[in-house]
Structure 1
Amino acid sequence: MTTAPETAPTARPGAAELPGARSEADVIAVDPVTGSELGRLTLQAGLKVISVLDAAAGEVGLLASDLRALYLLQVVGSQNAGELAKRMFVPQSCVTLIADRLQKRDLLSRARDPRDGRRVVLTITAEGRGVLEAAAVLVRAELRSFFAPLSAAHAQELAVLLGRVVVPGSGEEHAAPPA
């Protein structure tokens, strides 16, 4: 009985260009089809954005979580703590603490929902919008620098592609497309 000669696995198109790939085994480990390399790169970019938010929040005397809450209240509109927690990917108890801090500085207000008196609605105040804008100026400058290697068209394409995975401002992921 003869056996077929063993052949070395062939690299996938473009695999040689994957960052960190030194061998075929590495290529398999960082193959974007498996999501590991895409996940790593997305995480690295996300961590950079978080560090930018941390720095900007510090400049305006807030925590990054406070800044994120103000941003979501500005973009999405008034919402209750449960809705905001879902969008921020944090427990509702964290949003309560964030809202306490922001309310003490008059950056957000709490009010009973006129449609359902059991609900408390969080709303960004004019002062909160001012602080958010001051931080946004810093964030935009840093992110422009971070994404400078991308052309405007590539940056827009990246935003569109990420928007297919995460619903902007919702804290939700899109459903996977049918196979």
Structure 2
Amino acid sequence: MRATVDFAPLFRSSVGFDRMLNALDLASRIPTVDNWPPYDIVKTGEDDYRIDMAVAGLAENDLTITQERNTLVVTGRKAQEPQSAAEYLHRGIAGREFERRFDLAEHMKVTDAHFENGLLSITLKREIPEAMKPRRIAITSSTTRAEEAVPQIEARKEAA
């Protein structure tokens, strides 16, 4: 049995958090059905992350990574194998098709993807635009303003 959480009080008392609260509400309602392929999400620095996915049975050409706005989509589709005389007695390596979606925070960018020995590593970085970074605001006082030279506009004097 899954406990449900009512986010209505948060909607009433917060401004600008709609997307996050909707994501939490949606996550609490949708049961997780598919758990393949297994993956890890690792925070490697202040603004750096890595997703490691175990995709045994798939080759680099079978994988597609796309970023659509704030969603990272990793898709795996195995190419058709040519018919061989070999007969599988047991097939435990999955190698099946999948589509895994990750919701990304604002300003997250995929910087690298690396595939080695059945492990797909996707490197992400949060790149906050300069205009959105915190900046220090100078504080002035009334005495500071009085000391500043106020530019005067002088009119030409004409002889009468």
TM-score (norm 1): 0.27
Query: Which of structures 1 and 2 has the larger relative contact order (alpha carbons within 8 angstroms, sep 6+)?
Result: 2
Structure that is richer in helix per residue: 1
Which structure has the larger Rg? 2
Structure that is richer in strand per residue: 2
